[in-house]
Amino acid sequence: MSNEQVYAGGLLNRALDPTTQPPEIRAFLQAEVDLLRELIRDGMRAVDIGCGTGRHLAMLGGRLALGVGVDYQHTYIVEAHRLVGSQHLQFVTGDATALPFESGFDFAICMTNTWGTMSDKAAVLREMRRLAPRPHSRLLSIYAPASVPARREWYQRLGHAMLEITDEFIATDGGFRSEHFSEARLRSLVGDCDVQPLADIAYAVTF
């Protein structure tokens, strides 16, 4: 199975159930929320790449002039419309390497290590730069190597036994593959960027 098939099987919804999450993962997810509340200002136009069911845009909706969420899993987009769809929050099924709209956003985000599950990472970065052209108006939230023990526990709680753990990724017997990144590797892939620790097990990368 591929990551696409695993997500289509409903992994995201199970993973967002707090009862499945080790304390380190819950702290990381809260740190993401706190960071977004700090970075996203009133009146911004923001795009969320790999938005899932739209939880980040829903949280930010009150301060956004426009929020657009994109995910390749159509079932997640349908659920996002059901849960949080509104006039200024829109959700679109699309490919993160070729997004179906023009530039003109104030901020682009790709959260919760979504970028670390994508195959064509360079193309996603290009799209983020195109959509939000101002320097340091793009944000990645990415797992660090220190996340491995918590993620191993989390994935096992979700029914995914470990198949392989390396310096760069975890692969499960259910077909899920999730990468983690050293600061040096992030800088080599992203280029000019600011890398800050996030909740002890991750990095916030602005570029």
Rounded average pLDDT over 102-123: 96
| Residue 86 pLDDT | 79
- Residue 183: what residue type? E
Residue 203 carries which DSSP code?
E
Q: How far apart are CA 5 and CA 175, in angstroms?
A: 8
For residue 60, what are its two tokens? 């930010």
- Residues 105, 45: contact at Cβ < 8 Å? yes
The CATH number that domain 3-206 falls under is 3.40.50.150
Q: How far apart are CA 5 and CA 162, in angstroms?
A: 17
For residue 108, what are its two tokens? 């682009």
| Residue 103 pLDDT | 86
Residue 37 carries which DSSP code?
H
pTM as predicted: 0.93
pLDDT tens-place string over residues 136-188: 999 999 999 999 999 999 999 999 999 999 999 999 998 899 999 999 999 99
Q: How far apart are CA 145 and CA 132, in angstroms?
A: 28
Sequence ranges of the domains in the chain: 3-206
